[in-house]
Chain A
C-alpha cells in the first residue's frame, strides 16, 4: 500500500508503544502504586495485540444471518475478556499488598522499604 507504513501499522505501533512504556514504568519507578500502573498499561497493550488483528473492516459480530457474509473473529475477544479479568485480579491483589505494605512499613517507596529491611537484617546480624 502506498499510504505509508505508519498508517498501515498503526495498531502495532500503538501496541508496542504501550508495551514498552508500561514495562519502563514498572522497571524505572520505585513507587509501588506507580509500578502497578505501569504493569496495567503493559497488560493493556496485550489486549490490543489480540483484538486489533481480529477486526475485519466491514465485518459484523459473528451471529449467523443471511444478510451478512463478512464476520470479525470473535475468539480474540473471548480470550481478552479472560485476560482482562486476570488483569483486574492481579491489580486488585497488587493494590491490596501495597496497602498492607504501607500499613506495616509506613511507606510505599521501594528504596525506603529496602532500607528498612536492611536495617532489620543488620540488627539480626549484630545479635548473632
Chain B
C-alpha cells in the first residue's frame, strides 16, 4: 500500500474512524486521545495533500476503484487543499484546548459523546471539501450538521437547546434546498459528478430547470453560510454553544459552505451564467454590503462578548461574499484569503473568550456568560488573554501588520480594478464599525476599574498556548503572505480560468 496515493481517502476516513472508536471505548480520556489523534492525522494528511497538489496539480481519487462519473470521486485542487488545511488545522488546535474547557462545561459522563461528535463534525466538513460528487456533498453536509446540532445543544445555558433546535430547522431547510437543486441538475444532466456535470450543463445552460437548480442551491447554501438575511440561526448558536465548539464552528462550518458556493458558481454553473446573464453579482453585492454594515452595527450594541463576535462573523462573511461578487481573479483571491484569515482570527478570539470565562468561574463551578459587566478591569487579571483578543480584534478591523489587513487590501484592489471606487469608501467605513465593537472590549477590559482587587490570575498554559498559536498565525499571515495569498491566488486563477 502506497500511503501517499491514498491520502485523499485517509483525509476523511481517519477522523471518521475516530468517532465510533470514541463511542466504543466510552471513556472520556481515551476518547479525547483517539479523536485528537484522528484530527492531528487529518492535519498531517492535509499538509501532505497541499504539497502533493503543488507537485502534480489536481488529484483525483476513485472510491472503490469505480471510475468517475459512475463512482464517487474525491477531487483535490488548490482551493480544496487550502480549505482542508484550514479545517483540519483548526480542529488540531481546538481539540487539545477543549480538554480543560469541557471538563467544566459538560457533565463528565457525556465527554466521550462530545469527542465522538467533534470527530464526526470534522469528518463531515473535510468530506464536503474533498468530494467531487454533488450528492456526496449533501451526505457529508448532513453528517457535519447533525453533529453540530448535538455539539451546540451540549451548551450549559438552556437557550443552547432552542438555539440548536432553530439551527436544526434552518440547517435542514438549507440542506434540503441544496438537495432539491442537485435533483434538478441530475434530471437535466444525468450525472452527479461535478466535473462531468459542468461539461454537460453547457448544452442546457439557460433552460428553466437549471435556473431553478441554481436558485435552490444558492439559497440553500446561503442559509448554511449565514449570508446576511439568512443568518438568524448564527448569533444564538455561537453564543450558547460550548466555547470550544464556537471556536471550531466559527472558523470552519460557514467557511466550508462558502467553499461549496464558490465550487458551484465558478466550477459547475460557470461564470457566463452567473455573472453575465443573471443579476446575481448585483444581488450578492447588496447583501454583502448589508451584512458588512448592519451586522457590524448590531454587534456594537451587544452585551455578551460571544454574541458580539458572532454578529461580527456575519459581517465578516459579507467581506468574503463581496470578494466573490466581482467575478475577477483579484476579487476571488480576496474572498479566499479572507476566508482563511478570518477563520484563524475568529478561532483565536473564541478560544481566548473561552479561557476568559473559565477564569471568571468560581473554583470548580461552571463558567458564566461573558457579559460586559463581568469583564471590567479584566486586563489586569488576565493580561495575556485580553491582549490576544485585542490583536485578533485588530485583524478583524484590518490594521496593517495583521492578516485582516491583507484580505482588505486585496478586496480594495479588486474594487478599484472593477472601477467601483465608492466601494473602497464603503469597505473603510465598515472597518470603522469594527473598530467600534473591538473598542468596547478594550474600554471595558483595560480602562474600567475591576470590581474587587484581584491579583493576576492568568488562564492555564494549556488554554493559552493553542489560542496564542492562532494569534501568532494572524500576525504571521499579516507579514508573510506567500502561503495564504499564494494559495488563494493560485486557486482563484484556476477557478476563473476553468469557468471562463
Contact = CB atoms under 8 A, between A and B. Distances in A.
Interface in B161-197: 161-162, 164-165, 168-169, 172-173, 176, 179-180, 183, 186-187, 192
A124 B161 contact: no
A43 B344 CA distance: 35
Nearest to B167: A97
Q: Interface SS of chain A: helix, strand, loop or mixed?
A: helix
A94 B158 contact: no
A66 to B, nearest CB: 23
Contact of A113 (B162, B172, B183): B162
B217 interface: no
- Which of B153, B173, B176, B179 has the most chain A CB atoms inside 10 A of its CB? B176
Nearest to B191: A75
B468 to A, nearest CB: 30
Interface in A69-90: 75-76, 79, 82-83, 86, 89-90
B218 interface: no
B41 interface: no
B9 interface: no
Nearest to A100: B161
Contact of A23 (B146, B150, B161, B173): B173
B151 to A, nearest CB: 12
A117 interface: yes
A21 interface: no
Interface residues of A, number: 35
B135 interface: yes
Contacts of A79: 135
B149 A117 contact: no
Nearest to B135: A79
B263 interface: no
Given A46-B183, A50-B183, A93 B168 contact: yes
A117 B303 CA distance: 15
B146 A90 contact: yes
A79 B187 CA distance: 13
Interface in B1-43: none
Nearest to A92: B146
Interface in B328-372: 371-372
Contacts of B303: 125, 128
Contacts of A127: 373
B294 interface: no
B146 A53 contact: no
B139 interface: yes
Given A46-B176, A93-B168, 18 more contacts: A39-B172, A42-B176, A49-B183, A50-B186, A53-B187, A75-B192, A76-B186, A79-B135, A89-B146, A90-B142, A93-B150, A94-B168, A94-B169, A97-B165, A100-B153, A105-B162, A117-B162, A128-B372
Interface of B: 135, 138-139, 142, 146, 149-150, 153, 158-159, 161-162, 164-165, 168-169, 172-173, 176, 179-180, 183, 186-187, 192, 303, 371-373
18 contacts: A23-B173, A26-B173, A42-B173, A43-B176, A46-B183, A82-B139, A86-B139, A90-B168, A97-B153, A97-B161, A97-B165, A97-B168, A100-B153, A101-B162, A105-B158, A105-B162, A124-B371, A127-B373
9 tightest A-B contacts by CB?
A: A128-B373, A104-B158, A86-B142, A97-B165, A49-B183, A101-B161, A100-B161, A50-B183, A94-B168
Interface of A: 19, 23, 26, 32, 35, 39, 42-43, 46, 49-50, 53, 75-76, 79, 82-83, 86, 89-90, 93-94, 97-98, 100-101, 104-105, 113, 117, 120, 124-125, 127-128
